[in-house]
Amino acid sequence: MESLTQSRLEEKLEKLELLLRIGTALSAERSKDRLIEMILLEAKALCNADGGTLYLRSDDSLRFAILRSDSLGIALGGSTGKPVDLPPLPLHDPLTGAPNRSNVATCAALMKESVNIPDAYETSTEFDFTGTKAFDARNDYRSQSFLTVPLVNNDSTVIGVLQLLNAQDPDTGEVVPFRADHQRVVESLASQAGIALDNQLLLDGQRELLESFIQMIAAAIDAKSPYTGGHCERVPILTEMLVRAACDDQEGAFRDFTLSDEEWYELRIAAWLHDCGKVTTPVHVMDKATKLETIFDRIAVVRARFAVLERDARITMLEAVAAGAPRAEAEASFHATVQTLRDELAFLENANIGSEFLPDAARARIAEIGARRYQENGQERPLLDADEVYNLQIQRGTLTNEERLVINGHMVQTVKMLERLPFPRNLRRVPEYAGGHHEKMDGGGYPKGIYAGDMSVPARIMAVADVFEALTAQDRPYKKGKTLSEAMRIMAFMKRDNHLDPELFDLFVRSGVYREYGHKYLPAELIDDVDEAALLAVQPKPFPLPPEPERKRRFLEFLPEYMEATVAGELRGPA
């Protein structure tokens, strides 16, 4: 008797220690899938059960989250990556609204009470086990003893149901009913598990809400301009592809680089926020498709002025004929003037497009044409005002220097906006990742002019992704999307000139990420052959690198004040 009592005490002590260990583990786990797997497996171990299921509540039903059966070799859900492809169990009849008490799992959820069934084949007539018995017949199995326990949170709301199947005698392996003391231990575990799982579900919900909110901002920025639509969506995709390649690089410069689940989440948040400052960029600058475009394209006004000049030339011709001048000579002079005006207008219309480099001779001709005079409301005015001449004389693209500063200012706004957000420690790198994709290796970038080699690998990767997406994008007003070979050749020049991280660009080439992205997101006509050997052979130009204290000072100035203490010792040298 004394030996039996001692054995029972030791067993209870062992169960208590196990519960304490499980409680600690449950509170530490951050992955929902691993958490529900832990709950089920530990409950199975406590009762020496052959199998079990954990259901999660979704609206008015219980859906299968994880399913295990040792004897049948079934392992679905949880961390397996294999979903449980079974329909959810409704808590109420969808037509009548009556509670579904015929199923043991839904009944336990509705009553918020445990249900212990010794033998579903002999002792239970209250519940419908038709489906269970059909499963047993197909798999030569006997689902006999059941222990079903609801998972309840702090608000007394059922968030799931834990169901264990076929308790086994540890000595004989025979299927036996679940013992009352085992039920109490599982109920204690379920109480801890319900709170831990509810906390994790709340955290996951907050994360999903934050991510969805950020994606909504990015979508709004893309929707703001029909010419950059999709950029904020495509850059995160390309960034994650290249980061994945860096994580998989086992022999190159990034063989020790890896990201945890939390760091992947941090990267996704940053990638979606990388252009959030564009919300402040004026639409007429962001969408400036031609040199004269503001709220509208002022080339239409210029055309109207040329029409006035043609009208005046016709009036001059008719007046000359009326005064006795030879008609043939007057008409010839008129047609010559009209031809000149139309040639000049065609020249200005072409210059307005901004698709090619504008040489000095063309800029001089614009000034000459602009000096023409015409009559408007009885006043003589120059054909082009100073601002129109200035815009038409832009040598590359459609933006003036001032407008380019406004465009570049979106990075200043991005940094300012992110600095105002109190990111928690697990998101502390978001400002650096999102705010540094226009910095350059040689310190010549913006908005801070830091040395990009001092930034983290994901921040430098985002710069590569941003450039490649911009070069190949099909929705820009001022250019057509470039082929793979053209885009990669331009990026090789940027590698040579220390604009992009050379090792990351080489990884971009070697991993084939650029081509994988192209096949998924670019039209077939842009997919051409790329001389990868030539790209890899390009060498960066040497440039002077300041001492580490100066680089660290610049880097810390780039970060929000609340982050400086956490990353002050993490300065990364150039690759």
CATH number at residue 493: 1.10.3210.10
Q: Is residue 212 part of a domain?
A: no
Please determine, for residue 489, whether its predicted confidence score (pLDDT) is greater than 80.
yes
Q: The whole model's pTM is what?
A: 0.63
Which two tokens mark 273? 């926020």
Mean pLDDT of 163-191: 90
Report how far residue 415's alpha carbon sits from residue 418's, in angstroms, rounded to the nearest whole number: 5
Model pLDDT for residues 116-157, shown as the tens digit of each residue: 999 998 865 688 888 888 889 999 999 999 999 999 888 888
59: left (phi over 0), alpha (psi -120 to 50) or beta: left
Mean pLDDT of 53-69: 92
Q: Is residue 544 part of a domain?
A: yes
What pLDDT is attached to residue 122?
Answer: 83
Between 554 and 96, the more confident residue is 96
Picking from 398, 420, 454, the residue at the C-terminal end of a domain is: 398
Shared domain for 49 and 162, answered yes or no, is yes
Please determine, for residue 563, whether its predicted confidence score (pLDDT) is greater than 50.
no
CB atoms within 10 A of CB 145: 23
Confidence grade of residue 8 (pLDDT, cut at 50, 70, 90):
low
Between 19 and 525, the more confident residue is 525
Please determine, for residue 62, whether its predicted confidence score (pLDDT) is greater than 60.
yes
Helix count and strand count (H, E) for the chain? 21, 10
175: left (phi over 0), alpha (psi -120 to 50) or beta: beta
Shared domain for 146 and 272, answered yes or no, is no
By C-alpha distance, which of 433, 423, 108 is closest to 268?
433
Residue type, 542: P
Model pLDDT for residues 223-256, shown as the tens digit of each residue: 766 655 567 788 999 999 999 999 999 888 898 9
Q: Is residue 318 part of a domain?
A: yes
For the chain, the first-to-last Cα distance in angstroms comes to 73
What pLDDT is attached to residue 425?
Answer: 83
Query: What value, to the nearest 5°, has the Cα angle with vertex 31 and ends 26 and 35?
Result: 40
C-beta of residue 490 within 8 angstroms of C-beta of residue 482: yes
Please determine, for residue 567, whether its predicted confidence score (pLDDT) is greater than 50.
no
What percentage of the chain exceeds 70 in pLDDT?
87
Averaging pLDDT over each range in 50-64, 261-275, 387-401, 409-423, which range is the top one? 50-64
Between 20 and 38, the more confident residue is 38
Shared domain for 526 and 543, answered yes or no, is yes
Please determine, for residue 351, whether its predicted confidence score (pLDDT) is greater than 60.
yes
What pLDDT is attached to residue 274?
Answer: 78
Confidence grade of residue 55 (pLDDT, cut at 50, 70, 90):
very high
Phi, psi of 61 (to 5 degrees): -150, 165
Among the ranges given (12-16, 81-85, 310-314, 495-499), the one the predictor scored with the smallest mean pLDDT = 12-16
Shared domain for 363 and 237, answered yes or no, is no
Averaging pLDDT over each range in 212-221, 534-543, 562-571, which range is the top one? 534-543
- For residue 490, the number of C-alpha atoms closer than 13 Å in the C-beta half-sphere is 13
By C-alpha distance, which of 225, 243, 232 is closest to 273?
232
Pairing of strands 89-90, 61-69: antiparallel
Please determine, for residue 562, whether its predicted confidence score (pLDDT) is greater than 50.
no
Shared domain for 90 and 142, answered yes or no, is yes
Domain that holds residue 359: 299-398
Shared domain for 140 and 64, answered yes or no, is yes
Q: How far is CA 506 from CA 235, 250, 339, 434, in A?
A: 19, 15, 54, 22
Shared domain for 519 and 460, answered yes or no, is yes
Phi, psi of 435 (to 5 degrees): -95, 0
Q: CB-based contacts of 331: which residues, under 8 Å, 6+ apart? A: 317
Mean pLDDT of 542-551: 81
Query: What value, to the nearest 5°, has the Cα angle with vertex 298 and ends 293 and 300?
Result: 130
Q: If you compute the radius of gyration of the chain from its CA atoms, what whole number of angstroms results?
A: 36
Q: Is residue 35 part of a domain?
A: yes
Q: Is residue 473 part of a domain?
A: yes
Q: Is the dihedral of CA 468, 470, 475, 478 positive or negative?
A: negative
What pLDDT is attached to residue 559?
Answer: 58
CATH number at residue 116: 3.30.450.40
Phi, psi of 28 (to 5 degrees): -90, -20
What pLDDT is attached to residue 245?
Answer: 95
Q: CB-based contacts of 115: which residues, under 8 Å, 6+ apart? A: 104, 107, 108, 146, 147, 148
Picking from 398, 429, 462, the residue at the C-terminal end of a domain is: 398
Shared domain for 388 and 437, answered yes or no, is no
Please determine, for residue 570, whether its predicted confidence score (pLDDT) is greater than 70.
no
Q: Is residue 93 part of a domain?
A: yes
What percentage of the chain exceeds 90 in pLDDT?
41
Model pLDDT for residues 379-422, shown as the tens digit of each residue: 889 999 998 999 999 888 887 887 777 766 666 777 778 878 88
Averaging pLDDT over each range in 361-365, 444-448, 478-482, 541-545, which range is the top one? 361-365
Picking from 378, 398, 418, the residue at the C-terminal end of a domain is: 398
Shared domain for 427 and 502, answered yes or no, is yes
Shared domain for 361 and 329, answered yes or no, is yes
Give the distance, in angstroms, between the CA of residue 472 and the centroid of all CA atoms in the same chain: 19
Q: Is the dihedral of CA 20, 24, 29, 30 positive or negative?
A: positive
Q: Is residue 289 part of a domain?
A: no
Mean pLDDT of 440-461: 86
Domains held by the chain: number: 3
Which two tokens mark 45? 């171990």
Shared domain for 453 and 519, answered yes or no, is yes
Q: CB-based contacts of 313: which residues, under 8 Å, 6+ apart? A: 334, 337, 338, 341
Shared domain for 64 and 193, answered yes or no, is yes
The per-residue pLDDT of the chain, averaged, comes to: 84
By C-alpha distance, which of 201, 230, 227 is closest to 218?
230
Which two tokens mark 558? 């780039």
Q: Is residue 488 part of a domain?
A: yes
354: left (phi over 0), alpha (psi -120 to 50) or beta: left
Please determine, for residue 27, whether its predicted confidence score (pLDDT) is greater than 50.
yes
What pLDDT is attached to residue 22?
Answer: 62
Helical (H) or strand (E) element with 56: strand 49-58
